[in-house]
Chain A
Amino acid sequence: ELKVEQNPLFLSMQEGKNYTIYCNYSTTSDRLYWYRQDPGKSLESLFVLLSNGAVKQEGRLMASLDTKARLSTLHITAAVHDLSATYFCAVDVHQGAQKLVFGQGTRLTINP
């Protein structure tokens, strides 16, 4: 059974600081996705990582994928309050059809 584990699950940080969220998964996959969810809202797609060594950046967020280590990271640079949200990584697996398996989520709070 595929397991997707995020670390940390809770993160409280100050504006202007840098931090990294880690996503480990237990089986071979070369498709990994990062989503953002604000409280009471839907999931917003942030990044699609499709191959080993893939790196994507959008504003203060940068995501990377190491398929050999089965590890993805989401790096936050110079955090601002607007980035406060829950961040999920999800791995694509094929079990009859393709489906996403989500990590537990990292609840990020950025304090002024």
Chain B
Amino acid sequence: DTEVTQTPKHLVMGMTNKKSLKCEQHMGHRAMYWYKQKAKKPPELMFVYSYEKLSINESVPSRFSPECPNSSLLNLHLHALQPEDSALYLCASRLRQGDQPQHFGDGTRLSIL
């Protein structure tokens, strides 16, 4: 069990669907991250939120839209995805921008039909 909770664990959607991924942590962490991981590859950073403000967008296509409603919650809104977007999406959090490691959730495995 991880202290970063992601839902759903699995998601299958069509290219015209709209869905959202959710990430929650109650450790008081103020930095939160979205990563995309393809099979047998390292995680690729997508977005960084620091104190609920978007700090980094790694040139992610606009069909991915992040949202941080409060310090415990991070969403990733999905719209008009492509088959190549199928991957494991990992959320992570960190106490603050500093020396502590990032804590990862179990991920959402996304399949685009």
B42 touches A97 (CB 8 A): no
Please tell me if the beta carbons of A103 and B56 are within 8 angstroms of each other in the complex: no
| A33/B104 in contact, CB under 8 A | no
- Is the CB–CB distance between B42 and A103 below 8 Å? yes
Cβ distance B69 to chain A, nearest Cβ, rounded Å = 19
Per DSSP, chain B at the interface is loop
Contact (Cβ within 8 A) B101 A104: no
Q: Is A102 an interface residue, CB under 8 A from the partner?
A: yes
Which residues from 71 to 113 on chain B have a C-beta closer than 8 Å to any C-beta of chain A? 90, 92, 97-107
Once the chains bind, are B99 and A42 in contact (CB under 8 Å)?
no
What CA separation (Å) do A93 and B59 show in the bound complex? 17
| Interfacial chain A residues near B48, Cβ < 8 Å | 97-99
Tally chain A residues at the interface, Cβ within 8 Å: 23
> With an 8 A cutoff between CB atoms, is B14 at the interface?
no
| Neighbouring A residues of B33 by C-beta, 8 Å | 99
Question: Considering only CB atoms and an 8 Å cut-off, how many residues of chain B contact the other chain?
Answer: 25
Asked if A111 CB lies within 8 Å of chain B CBs, one says: no
Beta-carbon contact of A42 and B90 below 8 Å:
yes
Contact yes or no, A104 B42, CB < 8 A:
yes
A48 and B99 within 8 A (CB): yes
From the candidates A43, A98, A103, A105, name the one contacting B97 in the complex (CB within 8 A).
Answer: A98
Q: Which residue of B lies closest to A98 (CB)?
A: B97
Q: Name the distance in Å between A34's Cβ and chain B's nearest Cβ.
A: 9
CA distance A99 to B57 in the complex (A): 11
Q: Within the assembled complex, what's the spacing in Å between the Cα atoms of A96 and B43?
A: 20
A38-60 interface code vs B (CB 8 A; 1 in, 0 out)? 00011111001010000000000
- Residues of chain A touching chain B, judged by Cβ–Cβ distance below 8 Å, are 31, 33, 35, 41-45, 48, 50, 88, 95-105, 107
Write the residues of chain B forming the contact surface with A, with a CB cutoff of 8 angstroms.
2, 31, 33, 40-43, 45, 48, 50, 55-56, 90, 92, 97-107
The list of the 5 closest CB pairs from A to B, nearest first, reads A97-B55, A102-B42, A45-B101, A98-B97, A43-B104
